[in-house]
Structure 1
Amino acid sequence: MTGDLTGGDQIGGDPTIGDAPDGTDRTRVLLEAVDLHKSFGPTPALDGAGLTVRAGEVVAVMGPSGSGKSTLLHCLAGILTPDRGTVRYRDVELSAMGDGARSELRRTDFGFVFQFGQLVPELTCLENVALPLRLGSVKRKEAESRAREWLDRLEVADVADKRPGETSGGQGQRVAVARALVTGPRVVFADEPTGALDSLNGERVMQLLVTAAKETNAAVVLVTHEARVAAYSDREVVVRDGKSREMEPVR
Structure 2
Amino acid sequence: MSTQDTTLTGSLLSAHELRKSFGPTPALDGASFSIRPGEVVAIMGPSGSGKSTLLHCLAGIVPPDSGTITYSGRHLTALSDAERSALRRNDFGFVFQFGQLVPELSCVENVALPLRLAGIKRKDAHRAAQKWLERLEVSDVGHKRPGEVSGGQGQRVAVARALVGSPRVVFADEPTGALDSYNGERVMQLLTDAARESQAAVVLVTHEARVAAYSDREIVVRDGQVRDAAVAV
Provide the TM-score with structure 1 as the length reference: 0.88
Q: Distance in 2 between matches of 1:153 and 1:28?
A: 30
1:117 equivalent to 2:128? Answer no
After the TM superposition, which residues 178-217 of structure 1 pair with which residues of structure 2 at under 5 Å, given as runs?
178-217=160-199
Give the superposition deviation at 1:27: 5.6
Over 2 Å off, 4+ runs: none
Give the superposition deviation at 1:91: 1.0
Q: Distance in 2 between matches of 1:163 and 1:148?
A: 14
Of the candidates 204, 212, 222, which is equivalent to residue 240 of structure 1? Answer: 222
Equivalent residue for 1:223?
205
Equivalent residue for 2:159?
177
Structure 2 counterpart SS, 1:38: strand
Q: Distance in 2 between matches of 1:138 and 1:98?
A: 25
Of the candidates 103, 111, 133, which is equivalent to residue 151 of structure 1? Answer: 133
Of the candidates 119, 139, 155, which is equivalent to residue 121 of structure 2? Answer: 139
Q: How many residues align?
A: 224
Equivalent residue for 2:45?
63
1:90 equivalent to 2:75? Answer no
Per-residue CA deviation, residues 202-230 of structure 1 (Å, 9 max, x unaligned), is 00000000000011000000000000000
Q: Distance in 2 between matches of 1:164 and 1:141?
A: 21
For structure 1, list consecutive stretches of 5 or more residues without a partner in the other structure: 1-25
1:78 equivalent to 2:38? Answer no
- Are the counterparts in 2 of residues 154 and 174 from structure 1 also a CA contact under 8 Å? yes
Of the candidates 26, 30, 50, which is equivalent to residue 12 of structure 2? Answer: 30
Provide the TM-score with structure 2 as the length reference: 0.95
Structure 1 counterpart SS, 2:12: strand
Give the fraction of aligned pairs with identical amino acids, expressed as a percent.
73
- Are the counterparts in 2 of residues 27 and 55 from structure 1 also a CA contact under 8 Å? no
RMSD: 1.1
2:56 corresponds to which letter in structure 1? H
For structure 2, list consecutive stretches of 5 or more residues without a partner in the other structure: 1-7
Equivalent residue for 1:9?
none
Q: Distance in 1 between matches of 2:229 and 2:208?
A: 15
Which one has more relative contact order, counting CA pairs under 8 Å at least 6 apart? 2
